Amino acid sequence: MQLTVEPDSAGQRLDALLADSLGSRSRAARLIEAGAVTVDGRARPKRHVVAAGEVVVVDDAIEQPEAPADLGAAVTFAVPYEDEHLLVVDKPAGLVVHPAKGHLTGTLSQALERTNPAHRPGDDGWRAGLVHRLDRETSGLLVVAKSDAVHAALKEALQRRDVTREYAALVEGRPPARTGTIDAPIGRDRRVRTRHSTDTDNPREARTHFAIAEAFDYYTLLTVTLETGRTHQIRVHLLAIDHPVAGDPEYGHADRLGLTRQFLHAQRLAFTHPVTGAAIAVESPLPPELEQALDRARAGER
């Protein structure tokens, strides 16, 4: 895993910076102490205070058991846009983006790195340059770079907020306004360490915009746009205004409207191509299970 320290992350300890990506601060500390983490090419202690622009690389292979060579062989996904520089993936719900504890194989990044002519140009292939991520049970669009230069350019565009990430979210109840912005810092929850919330000791800037797309008796379909991209941001922010995402087992109520996961879908991705300068806009229709839940909401079901 490689990441560039964003300006709003500067000043954090190295182990705190990596806690979200690696699942816990203790795991981050173990990898740092094992020499699996470098900052600008040099090993640093866990107490190292990161600066904006530093490149942090994590090699967690030391804690992974031996696994089959083709780790992403069973993974399927759609590719609605692709050229020689990048591709846009339509991720199904249930697919983990990066390997992590409990999900060492069968991830999207591993599938993209397979020897597959449709997704790997040239004889040498490429390492999947995922620019952002989606939660396991969130479906929809992700952009992937095919070179370090394109990856860096897309990350910079994301930090400048020049990438449009639009989601469809069905929420419980109805917001009091047709449009709104939720501006509330997010971090790891003080009490439940597997969750993120606005009740945190390490708040990070987070803003989410929403607009009502369709209103029903007990639910509302929102169009949600991210200005920042914190872990679980949409789910946390909508819970914070008392309108949790329908079917969300972590931040709301599971099993609503026949849902087996949260009703959250990354439906539109738009950005300027970092090489050609062309305007790229890709859309993804709602998956069938979300369409069925929407029909139940329209029918007045709880």
Would you say residue 179 has pLDDT above 70?
yes
Rounded to an integer, what distance in angstroms lies between the CA atom of residue 252 and that of residue 228? Answer: 22
Instruction: Give the number of residues written for the chain.
Output: 302
Q: Among residues 135, 199, 242, 248, which one is catalytic?
A: 135
238: alpha, beta or left? (left if phi > 0; alpha if psi -120 to 50): alpha
- CA separation for the pair 144, 151 (Å, rounded): 8
> Domains of the chain (ranges plus CATH)?
1-63 (3.10.290.10), 64-298 (3.30.2350.10)
Rounded Cα–Cα distance for residues 215 and 267 (Å): 19
- Residue 35: pLDDT band (50, 70, 90) is confident
225 and 164 Cβ atoms separated by less than 8 Å: yes
Query: Measured between alpha carbons, how far is 244 from 130 in angstroms, rounded to an integer?
Result: 28
Both structure tokens of 119? 């997704």
201 catalytic? Reply is no
Nearest by Cα to 170 from 5, 291, 44, 45:
291
Residue 122 tokens read as 């040239």
- What is the average per-residue pLDDT within 141-158? 93
pLDDT for the residue 262: 97
More confident of the two residues 58 and 67: 58
The string of pLDDT tens digits covering residues 254-289 is 989 999 999 999 999 999 999 999 999 999 999 999
Which residue's entry shows tokens 């350019």? Answer: 153
Nearest to 284, CA basis, from 269, 272, 262, 271: 269
pLDDT at 120: 44
Helix, strand or coil for residue 228?
A: coil
Backbone angles phi, psi at 276, to 5 degrees: -90, -20
What does pTM read for this prediction?
A: 0.74
> Do 79 and 119 touch, CB atoms closer than 8 A?
yes
Task: State pLDDT tens for residues 102-119.
Answer: 556 678 887 887 644 444
pLDDT of residue 112: 82
Least confident of 41-45, 76-80, 127-131, 296-300: 127-131
| pLDDT interval class at 251 (50, 70, 90) | very high
- Paired tokens of 20: 């979200």
Task: Write down the pLDDT at residue 100.
Answer: 61
Q: Identify the CA nearest to 238 among candidates 266, 286, 198.
A: 198
